[in-house]
A = this chain, B = another copy of it.
Amino acid sequence: MQNPVTVEVTRGNLVESRHRGLGVVVDASGKTVFSFGDAEAGVFPRSSCKAMQALPLMESGAADAYGFGNKELAFSCASHSGEDVHVAMASSMLAKAGQDVSALECGAHWSSEQSALIHQAHTITAPTALHNNCSGKHSGFVCACVHSGTQLKGYVGYEHPLQQEIRGIMESLTGAVLAEDNCGTDGCSIPTYAVPLKGLAHGFAKMLTGQGLEPVRAKASRRLIEACMAEPFYVAGTNRACTKLMQVAPGKIFAKTGAEGVFVAALPEQGLAMAVKCEDGTTRAAEAMIFALIARYFEKGSETQETLMGMANRTMKNWNGLRVGDIRVTDAMFA
């Protein structure tokens, strides 16, 4: 199946670049409400499924034992920009479990956000694992392991009990069989599994509604999603898409991006979840697609819908502030 051109980047009166994509909206029963492109194609969710990966932290009782509130829970699901509050939060979570940066196995990198990187350059000589965009998820992993008495070293490994538990959770939520043949290694060294895009969306619809889940998992899922919506800065950071999206209509939109052009969202009022993937892995296109797809489920003409469409179809300016073109979603996305 050929994925349609869903996003165009224009310059002057011409289209300069084109992005193809796939996307799907499902309800909690798994019914496809809307789709475009090959919604059954296998995609690596990458960081878009961090809320699923945070479930052991909740279900083990670790989050409650360490007194984690919305900020910590949101941060456990984050791909953050390594801003000061993020780094401090990672340290704080680790300290609750009697650990420090040395327990993290995610590796270190400078922020990929320009303003955050400039601040880092002014204040540190080199980034640590606390600055890694995944340090929240990994701090949650460390807390889950310490609380349950699981060996900490090697917690990123395919055979480690924590990753086995996450694999089981993701199989149950997405309906996909996960094994080494659809497993890759993520940027932060944990396993990432290719799942059908529709399965990914369905997993979030289950987490959103609790439908078909054990009570413990339903409660844990709901708490994580609500924490992200309540503290969107801890999920990403200044000027980041996830943060801005969850600020558009507080409590009404859950959203999480993943590398290589993946984005998921869940809408509590509508009971729907959705996932998109840009075929070529480009973030600008994944963002435009998810903004427009979410907008479809808010009342036409409402402030929320108009704000979202203004984010989906936006003007690009150059270094002198002159308009040079637009990024816009195509009709093919909604054909």
Copies in the complex: 2
Residues in B with CB closer than 8 Å to A151 are none
Find the B residue at minimum CB distance from A110: B114
Find the B residue at minimum CB distance from A325: B184
Is the Cβ of B105 less than 8 Å from the Cβ of A110? Answer: no
Residues 227-262 (chain A) with a chain B CB within 8 angstroms: 260-261
Is the Cβ of A118 less than 8 Å from the Cβ of B110? Answer: yes
Q: A20-52: contact bitstring with B at CB < 8 Å (1 yes, 0 no)?
A: 100000000000000000000011100000000
Q: A185-219: contact bitstring with B at CB < 8 Å (1 yes, 0 no)?
A: 11111001010000000000000000000000000
Residues 277-335 (chain A) with a chain B CB within 8 angstroms: 278-282, 285, 318-325
Q: A40-72: contact bitstring with B at CB < 8 Å (1 yes, 0 no)?
A: 001110000000000000000000000000000
Is the Cβ of B44 less than 8 Å from the Cβ of A11? Answer: yes
Find the B residue at minimum CB distance from A11: B184
Is the Cβ of B280 less than 8 Å from the Cβ of A18? Answer: yes
A1 at interface by CB-CB < 8 Å: no
Is the Cβ of A260 less than 8 Å from the Cβ of B189? Answer: no
User: With A9-B281, A279-B18 given, is the CB distance from A324 to B184 under 8 Å?
Assistant: yes
Is the Cβ of A182 less than 8 Å from the Cβ of B17? Answer: no
User: With A118-B110, A122-B121 given, is the CB distance from A13 to B320 under 8 Å?
Assistant: no
Find the B residue at minimum CB distance from A285: B280
A107 at interface by CB-CB < 8 Å: yes
- Checking B12, B181, B183 against A184 with a beta-carbon cut-off of 8 angstroms, the contacting residue is B12
Interface size class on chain A is 35 or more
A11 to chain B, nearest CB (A): 4
User: With A281-B9, A319-B108, A319-B132 given, is the CB distance from A185 to B324 under 8 Å?
Assistant: yes
Is the Cβ of A189 less than 8 Å from the Cβ of B122? Answer: no
A186 to B323, CA, bound (A): 10
Residues in B with CB closer than 8 Å to A280 are 17-20, 280, 282, 285
A297 to B89, CA, bound (A): 54
Residues in B with CB closer than 8 Å to A192 are 11
A276 to chain B, nearest CB (A): 13
A4 to chain B, nearest CB (A): 12
A20 to B106, CA, bound (A): 32
Is the Cβ of B14 less than 8 Å from the Cβ of A319? Answer: no
A20-B280, A184-B325, A188-B319 known; 7 new pairs, CB 8 Å cut-off, are A13-B184, A14-B42, A17-B261, A106-B320, A132-B319, A184-B324, A280-B280
Residues in B with CB closer than 8 Å to A159 are none
A279 to B184, CA, bound (A): 27
A84 at interface by CB-CB < 8 Å: no
Is the Cβ of B121 less than 8 Å from the Cβ of A185? Answer: no
Q: A83-117: contact bitstring with B at CB < 8 Å (1 yes, 0 no)?
A: 00000000000000000000001111110001001
Q: What are 6 A-B pairs with beta-carbon distances under 8 A?
A: A12-B183, A16-B260, A17-B279, A18-B279, A19-B280, A186-B318
A192 to B324, CA, bound (A): 10
Is the Cβ of A189 less than 8 Å from the Cβ of B320? Answer: yes
A111 to chain B, nearest CB (A): 9
Find the B residue at minimum CB distance from A123: B121
Is the Cβ of B189 less than 8 Å from the Cβ of A322? Answer: yes
